[in-house]
Amino acid sequence: MAHGVHFEEAAAPDGMRLYAIGDVHGRADLLRRVHDRIDAEIARDRPDDWRVVHLGDYVDRGADSCGVIDFLVRRMEQDPRHVALMGNHEERFAMFLQDAAEWANFINFGGRETALSYGVDLDAYGEEAAAQRALAAAVPKDHVLFLDRLQLSATFGDFFFCHAGIRPGVPLDRQTQADLVWIRREFHDHQDLYPKVIVHGHTPVAAPDIRPNRVNLDTLAYDSGILTVLVVDGTDKRLFATEEG
């Protein structure tokens, strides 16, 4: 018999409200709208404590990756209860800023749009190294520091937050970066309960995917205009989405 936590019974820590926000991908407009609602709820309800967990993939594909990171930098400076996790797109972005040899890995994941948000047209340069140097010079130091300091996971109550998922059978505190930001098939196919409910993004779904052992909040915000949020108070759970238009 499997031992673990079922979504329906999973609880936030006593007195703490949890918010988890799915993949943003350059949609700074949607992220601001989500935060406006969260701010209003916290001001209205005055929970004893709270955390807002961002599940990664802030950059690429959408139009304003720079704006997303800038917003998160300021939010985390204002209140450390805003938590930002690393997605695979942040991993690739940080690697390209250090090494032009990562060109293909950056470009193939939507890096052109990220560079444009910093005012750099990568295709205007004759060779990859020059393009990489131009982008590295354009990215503010506090954005580089933000990328360097991203957490791989966070745990609150019965919930474990990460970008992509976990490798079944491996203790939560021994998961690798590669799995936390990249895993798909082995994690998605696993039917048994985990030690905690895994809240993740990474794999786009048409609507939030709630399973007994995990919750996927990646609703393809950059294309759908729908950025999804899970809210947990005690054992009460709800979803809301900020839609385009």
**Sheet containing strand 82-84, strands side by side:** 82-84, 49-54, 16-21, 226-233, 236-243
Tokens of 209: 């995917």
Structure tokens at 219: 């609703």
Measured CA to CA, the distance from residue 94 to residue 92 in angstroms comes to 5
In a domain, 223, yes or no: yes
What does DSSP assign to residue 87?
A: P
Residues of the chain with pLDDT under 70: 1-2, 244-245
- Which residue range forms the structural domain that includes residue 173? 16-243
* 167 occurs within a structural domain: yes
What per-residue confidence (pLDDT) applies to 1? 36
- Over residues 194-203, the pLDDT tens digits come to 999 999 999 9
Tokens 């409200």 locate to 17
Domain count, the chain: 1
Instruction: Please state whether beta strands 159-162 and 197-200 pair in parallel, antiparallel, or not at all (unpaired).
Output: parallel
Tokens of 243: 């839609």
Q: How far apart are CA 128 and CA 214, in angstroms?
A: 40
Q: Determine the Cα–Cα distance for residues 203 and 237; give it in Å rounded to an integer.
A: 21
Please tell me the pTM assigned to this model: 0.97
Cβ–Cβ < 8 Å for 27, 68: yes
Q: Tell me whether residue 49 is in a domain.
A: yes
Q: What is the pLDDT of residue 244?
A: 58
Does some domain include residue 7?
no
Q: What is the pLDDT of residue 126?
A: 84
In a domain, 3, yes or no: no
6 part of a folded domain: no
Would residue 114 count as lying in a domain? Answer: yes
* pLDDT given for residue 3 in this prediction: 77
- The CATH number linked to 107 is 3.60.21.10
Tens digit of each residue's pLDDT (9 = 90 or more) over 89-99: 999 999 999 99
